[in-house]
Amino acid sequence: MNRIHRPNRPIPPICQARATSMASLRSTRGVRALLPALVIVALLVAGCASSPFSDAGGVVAKGPADALRGEIQPGERVLWGGRIVGVVNAADATELEILALPLDHADRPRASAEGGVRFVVRYPGFLEPVNYAPGRLLTALGRFSTVETRAVGEFDIEQPVIDARQIELWPIRDPRPQTQFGIGIGIRL
């Protein structure tokens, strides 16, 4: 066999530095290749809105219109939402009249959707009518109770009623664009 034998000679310092920088360059290339993927994953995780009702298992996947058709039994758990159209405070509970809207992935009513059936959320205790004003969006988790006939103007319409255990009054979104430009510290244009 023709083997070339080279004695163990020390590597000159300039070559050691070059070998070290090449190894670190290879490892930073790997990190650089992963960086876009890491950024995308971070943005997706940060951008995912979770529902305040995420731990509400056993909810019937039917809406207020299904209750009017008799497809929901009293006592079944429901998660409904919509736009508040009226508030009545009684001695022991507050009744919110809601115009049903479909819910998005975070269980927030989709404000741009066409309204559906009206339903009533009965919540124990007092809710401030100024906070729960008509036009605000609300999602309620509770048990379907009954269907009641109620007056809306001169019309009597049937409205499902739920006894709510948890409600979410959604923040008002400003319709103006949220773009801001800044120069320096605390100076906005």
Enter the tokens of residue 169. Answer: 């009054």
For residue 137, pLDDT beyond 80: yes
User: Can you give the pLDDT at residue 57?
Assistant: 72
User: Can you give the pLDDT at residue 43?
Assistant: 46
Other CB atoms within 10 A of residue 145 CB = 16
Q: Using 50, 70 and 90 to split pLDDT, how confident is the model at 172? A: confident
Share above pLDDT 90 across residues of the chain, in percent, rounded to a whole number: 55
Counting every residue written for the chain, the total comes to 189
User: Can you give the pLDDT at residue 32?
Assistant: 62
Q: Dihedral through CA 149, CA 56, CA 89, CA 82, nearest 10? A: -60
User: Can you give the pLDDT at residue 142?
Assistant: 95
User: Can you give the pLDDT at residue 164?
Assistant: 96
Distance separating alpha carbons of residues 97 and 105, to the nearest angstrom = 23
For residue 29, pLDDT beyond 90: no
Other CB atoms within 10 A of residue 53 CB = 19
Distance separating alpha carbons of residues 76 and 66, to the nearest angstrom = 12
Distance separating alpha carbons of residues 73 and 160, to the nearest angstrom = 11
Share above pLDDT 70 across residues of the chain, in percent, rounded to a whole number: 65
Place of tokens 């741009």: 112
40 or 169, higher pLDDT: 169
Q: Dihedral through CA 16, CA 17, CA 22, CA 28, nearest 10? A: 130
Other CB atoms within 10 A of residue 59 CB = 15
For residue 21, pLDDT beyond 70: no
